[in-house]
Amino acid sequence: MNRHFIFALCAVLGFSVSGISLAQSTPADKEAAAKAAKAAKVKFRWGKSLKAAQKQAEETGLPIVLLFTGSSWCGYCIKLEKEVLSKKEFKQGMDGVAIGVKFEFGSADFSKSKEAKTYKVTGVPAMVVVDAEGKELGRTGYIPGQTPVQYVDFFKKYMPKTAEGK
């Protein structure tokens, strides 16, 4: 077959040739692509403002991980921090995956937290995954023996499909 015939066939079928798409992009496709590009640039860190995280989630489409912890008094919180959250595999693995918000509690003030009540968190550590509107998508906590990479894989399930390349 000659090159022109293959090119024409691809054009008719809507395939891409040499990375150039012959299909028309819709505004929704362009918006999703823009969000995915922004999402890919997000460096994971634990912020303190749910409102700021929601704004960033709206712009990127990424989920928000709410960490409820008491790392000064809670044994399992300390283990989660030491075995998972402080590890390079977790920190770097979460880049472009989610936006983090950390709620640090003393043992006496945990039950008074508005966010803990909203998400029905009854113990720490708890990690609640929410979308930009605050709707709960999933949750986890300290799981003995679970690796930082396994936690990252758990959170990747909540990424928008376009950000994952699916």
**Spatial separation of the C-alpha atoms in residues 127 and 85, rounded to whole Å:** 11
Among 126, 135, 131, residue whose Cα is nearest residue 105: 126
Q: What is the DSSP letter of 110?
A: G
Is 10 among the domain residues?
A: no
Collapsing DSSP to helix, strand or coil, 86 comes out as coil
**Predicted TM-score (pTM) of this structure:** 0.78
* Domain-located, residue 15: no
Using 50, 70 and 90 to split pLDDT, how confident is the model at 106?
confident
In a domain, 4, yes or no: no
In-domain check, residue 6: no
What pLDDT is recorded for position 22? 44
Q: Are 78 and 45 in contact (CB under 8 A)?
A: no
Q: How confident is the model at residue 7 (pLDDT cuts 50, 70, 90)?
A: very low
With respect to residue 2, please indicate whether it lies within any of the assigned structural domains: no
**∠ CA 37-155-126, rounded to 5°:** 135
- What digits encode the pLDDT tens for the residues 109-148? 777 789 999 999 989 999 999 999 999 999 999 999 999 9
- 104 within domain boundaries: yes
Q: Which residue has the higher pLDDT, 32 or 140?
A: 140
- Strand segments, DSSP code E, in the chain are 16-17, 20-21, 46-47, 64-69, 99-104, 126-130, 136-141
Residue 111 belongs to some domain of the structure: yes
In a domain, 125, yes or no: yes
For the domain that residue 41 is a member of, what is the CATH number? 3.40.30.10
Q: How many domains does the chain contain in total?
A: 1
User: Containing domain of residue 150, as a range?
Assistant: 27-164
